[in-house]
């Protein structure tokens, strides 16, 4: 009877193990740091603003019918003839800067997030394939990664966009190509450590398929470092997209991201209309700082040398 009772209780066991997964342990250590949590809160707020843009902004900055050229170049806090107050001023076309910034955030975040997800997916497949199969496959993949990482990201992105031309899709493609190598290297490094552990041998002895071992057993244990690199990289991606747009090879004028808004305002900066360029810049910096605060804490959590 006792044997039966034991085997009945068995299914409870995996659940308890699942609760203590690497990701959960990681999350618990993360919320101990107030600065990092503040970063997370600011980032979530910004993301929410970007998602809800059409419902919360006073005006749709790209609907020309809503723009009034008479409102052009108003300083922050000035009221227009129609009685609307522009808290962050307007650009020379009479576009409300607050609305333009929220819409710009939206494009910046979409570009960064989509490219991040695609790059992570490619990086995971490449990195795990390299670690799992080893040998020649490993050395070919890692040679490509090394080759790419030896050149600065901005240079590679700039070349690609100079050849491909402007466009949101092209910027995303360039960011994916620039970023995948970081994830591939990260995943490979942690996968190589994990592969030597006993549970991997156990999984192999069960004659599970390569795919199942790689994605159900190996991958979950490689996730925490990936989150750290992903956080740092999304900040980098936002900055890189802004830079490319500023240089005039990024997103098109019809879909201005924060970088393009800053570039458009640059001409007015020296003539005293600082708000057209400075406010989008502040939005960009706050976003990046919030993400980097999180990333900084995460790195400390995962650094074994700083463990208590």
Partner 1 sequence: MLVYLIRRLGQSLLAVTAMAFLVFLGVYAIGNPVDILVSPDATQAEIQATVQRLGLDKPLWDQFLVFVGNVFHGDLGTSFVYGRPALDIVLERLPATMELALVALFISVAVGVPLGVYAGLKPDSIGGRSVMAGSILGFSLPNFWQGMILILFFAVFLGWLPAGGRGETVNVLGIPVSFLTLDGLKHLLLPALNLALFKMSLVIRLTRANTREVALQDYVKFARAKGISHRRVVFVHILKNIMIPVVTILGLELGSMVAFAIVTETVFAWPGMGKLLIDSINLLDRPVIVAYLMLTVFIIVGINLVVDILYSALDPRVRLSEVKG
> How many whole angstroms separate alpha carbon 86 and alpha carbon 48?
22
In the complex, least distance from residue 201 CB atom to partner 1, rounded to whole angstroms: 25
Size of the site for partner 1 (CB under 8 A): 35
> How many whole angstroms separate alpha carbon 232 and alpha carbon 182?
11
Residues 120-143, buried b or exposed e (16+ Cβ, 10 A)?
bebbbbbbbbbbbeeeeebeebbe
Tokens linked to 59: 């005006």
**Is there binding between residue 134 and partner 1 (CB under 8 A)?**
no
**Is there binding between residue 151 and partner 1 (CB under 8 A)?**
yes
Calculate the dihedral angle through the C-alpha atoms of 34, 35, 41, 42, rounding to the nearest 10 degrees.
Answer: 160
Q: Which residues contact 128 (CB under 8 A, 6 or more apart)?
A: 187, 188, 191, 214, 218, 219, 222
**Is there binding between residue 281 and partner 1 (CB under 8 A)?**
yes
Single out the segment in contact with partner 1 by CB under 8 A; choices: 23-31, 77-85, 90-98, 266-274: 266-274
**Is there binding between residue 152 and partner 1 (CB under 8 A)?**
yes
In the complex, least distance from residue 131 CB atom to partner 1, rounded to whole angstroms: 16
> How many whole angstroms separate alpha carbon 281 and alpha carbon 263?
10
CA distances from 188 to 13, 182, 294 (A): 30, 10, 23
Report which DSSP code applies to 75. P
Q: Which position has the token pair 């490094």?
A: 189
Total H helices, total E strands in the chain: 14, 2
**Is there binding between residue 75 and partner 1 (CB under 8 A)?**
no
**Is there binding between residue 155 and partner 1 (CB under 8 A)?**
yes
**Is there binding between residue 159 and partner 1 (CB under 8 A)?**
yes
Residue from the set 23, 137, 208, 278 that interacts with partner 1 by CB under 8 A: 278
Tokens linked to 160: 């690609």
Tokens linked to 53: 């843009």
**Is there binding between residue 285 and partner 1 (CB under 8 A)?**
yes
In the complex, least distance from residue 186 CB atom to partner 1, rounded to whole angstroms: 19
Nearer to partner 1 among residue 36 and residue 53 (C-beta):
36
Nearer to partner 1 among residue 191 and residue 291 (C-beta):
291
Site string for partner 1, 225-264 (x = CB under 8 A): ----------x---x--xx--xxxx---------x--x--
Single out the segment in contact with partner 1 by CB under 8 A; choices: 48-56, 72-80, 82-90, 289-297: 289-297
> How many whole angstroms separate alpha carbon 116 and alpha carbon 110?
10
Residues that bind partner 1 (CB under 8 A): 147, 150-152, 154-155, 158-159, 162-163, 235, 239, 242-243, 246-249, 259, 262, 266, 269-270, 274, 277-278, 281, 284-285, 288-289, 292-293, 296, 305
């Amino acid at each position: 009877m006792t044997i039966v009772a034991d085997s009945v209780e068995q299914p409870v066991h995996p659940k308890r193990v699942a609760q203590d997964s690497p990701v959960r342990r990681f999350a618990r250590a993360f919320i101990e740091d107030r600065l990092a949590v503040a970063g997370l809160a600011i980032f979530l707020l910004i993301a929410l603003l970007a998602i809800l843009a059409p419902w919360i902004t006073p005006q749709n900055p790209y609907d020309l019918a809503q723009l009034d050229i008479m409102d052009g170049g108003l300083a922050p806090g000035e009221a227009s003839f129609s009685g609307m107050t522009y808290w962050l001023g307007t650009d020379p076309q009479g576009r409300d800067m607050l609305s333009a910034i929220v819409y710009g955030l939206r494009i910046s975040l979409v570009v960064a997030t989509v490219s991040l997800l695609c790059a992570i997916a490619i990086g995971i497949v490449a990195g795990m394939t390299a670690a799992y199969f080893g040998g020649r496959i490993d050395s070919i993949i890692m040679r490509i990664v090394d080759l790419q990482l030896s050149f600065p990201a901005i240079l590679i992105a700039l070349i690609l966009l100079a050849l491909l031309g402007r466009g949101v899709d092209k910027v995303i493609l360039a960011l994916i190509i620039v970023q995948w190598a970081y994830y591939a290297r990260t995943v490979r490094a942690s996968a190589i450590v994990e592969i030597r552990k006993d549970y991997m041998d156990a999984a192999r002895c069960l004659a599970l398929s390569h795919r199942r071992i790689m994605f159900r057993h190996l991958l979950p244990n490689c996730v925490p470092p990936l989150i750290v690199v992903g956080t740092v990289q999304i900040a980098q991606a936002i900055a890189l997209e802004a830079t490319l747009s500023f240089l005039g090879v990024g997103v098109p004028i019809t879909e201005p991201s924060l970088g393009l808004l800053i570039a458009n305002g640059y001409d007015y900066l020296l003539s005293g209309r600082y708000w057209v360029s400075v406010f989008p810049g502040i939005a960009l910096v706050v976003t990046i700082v919030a993400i980097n605060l999180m990333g900084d804490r995460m790195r400390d959590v995962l650094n074994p040398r700083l463990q208590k």
